[in-house]
Amino acid sequence: MSSKRERGLIELYNDDPERADALVFGRRADKGADGVGRRGFLKGAGLATMGAAVGASIPFAQNMPSGLFPAAMAQTPAAGAAAGPKVLKMDGKADLILLQEKPLNAETPDHLLDDAVTPVEKFFIRNNGLVPEMPADINTWKLTVDGEVDKPLSLTLGELLNRFTLKTYRMQVECGGNGRSFFAPETRGNQWGNGAIGCAEWTGVPLRDVLQAAGLKSSAVYTGHYGADPHLSGDPNRPTISRGVPIAKAMEEHTLIAVRMNGKPIPVMHGAPLRVVCPGWPGSTSQKWLTRIWIRDKEHDGPGMGGASYRVTKVPMVPGGKTPDSNMKVLESMPVRALLTNIANGTELPAGTREIAVRGHAWAGEKTVRAVHVSVDYGVSWNKMTVQNPHNKYAWQRWQGKVAVPSEGYYEIWTRATDSDGKMQPHVAGNWNPQGYGGNPFQRVAVLVKA
């Protein structure tokens, strides 16, 4: 008797996607005149196999693109792998998805991002180094502003609060690597899904007020931000990360030196007592545990500002290949993205459900969101949602609506947004780059309408 073990569909897709396609879609890919594989749509035994895999009939199977891996299986581990993603267990935090322990990095599951203002317990964690110790008297925390200024400043937290007027805005902070896991081939770095994002209510001093007090010289071009987080190496003279922004972004009224998060002092894990909030741009520019702002006469060149770090291609490169440094540019405004937040991937809906209420949030970096569309038939038709205006610039926008389903079975809810310039989320992550920044394909959420 043979002891050979037959692999399940999920394991087979992980190990041998071509064979899985052959089994599910009925044949191996044929080559068209352009050399691109052409696979058929689900039918016959392939349809039965896929239906068994997702545990239900697939009403719009005729529309399912050949080779599409079902969203229901996307987070299911292969045989022998750990039983699902690791969960962060930390006082004061929801069950975030743990990506890395040192430095600590954890993302928020999509369905926990339904609040208009993201609670601290649901806010993602992105660290590059270790968390610094806080002084006994937090008011003695010192911020230095120097470089290309007329009057260098050295301010304690107490002096900053007494000297400047505070402003409060709802603003998103998003990791530059949000969506990295959607790139193929895989890129370096933590494999974030969609949840490296949060929209909190931030209170702080506009950075421009502090820079005006210091007096910017005509030679001022860029900021350089420094924090107190120790480097993983333990070297006290080695900055963990130091990024910055052009002076124009630093002088934008919403760029803050923040002191409060959702009306309370910023928690240590999120950058207490001072952090930059540079909304709409990669979160790495929103320096946590802020101690210094160095005004430069050129683009900042601190750790995290060179090579492939937080840089994307000007002209698309071959995925997985190499491109000259001259083809790289600093990632600035984050791309458009929409999330369905009231339904988790894998949700089972009651028998008889024929209409599904959907809602979520959408954002677009420096832009606003013009439209959100949702499909339940694999993109053959799209339903336009109602999109609210942002609470203020850089706050994400609530969207909502309803979609109809014809019967019980397996569905995927696809969600895509379009920004104010008409740029729409793509089907797959585009503009591949070595560090996997800016990946924003539309979201897919699997649901099962019970029989």
pLDDT of residue 69: 75
Q: Give me 262's structure tokens.
A: 């959702």
- Tell me the C-alpha distance between 180 and 100, whole Å: 15
- Tell me the C-alpha distance between 77 and 245, whole Å: 40
Per-residue burial over 157-180, b = 16 or more CB atoms within 10 Å of its CB, e = otherwise: beebeeebeeeebbbbbbbbbbbb
- Tell me the C-alpha distance between 401 and 70, whole Å: 24
Q: Give me 16's structure tokens.
A: 């041998």
Q: Are 299 and 222 in contact (CB under 8 A)?
A: yes
Q: Are 313 and 327 in contact (CB under 8 A)?
A: yes
pLDDT of residue 95: 96
Q: Which domains does the chain have, with CATH numbers?
A: 9-26+37-73 (no CATH), 93-451 (3.90.420.10)
Q: Which residues of the chain have pLDDT under 50?
A: 1-10, 24-41, 76-82
The predicted model scores a pTM of: 0.89
Identify the sign of the CA torsion 76, 80, 81, 82.
Answer: positive
State how far Cα 198 lies from the chain centre. 9
pLDDT of residue 9: 46
Identify the sign of the CA torsion 110, 116, 120, 126.
Answer: positive
- Tell me the C-alpha distance between 276 and 292, whole Å: 11
Looking at the DSSP assignment, which residues form a beta bridge with residue 285? none
pLDDT of residue 37: 38
- Tell me the C-alpha distance between 269 and 129, whole Å: 12
Cβ burial of 208 (10 Å; 0-12, 13-18, 19+) is: middle
User: Residues, the chain, total?
Assistant: 451
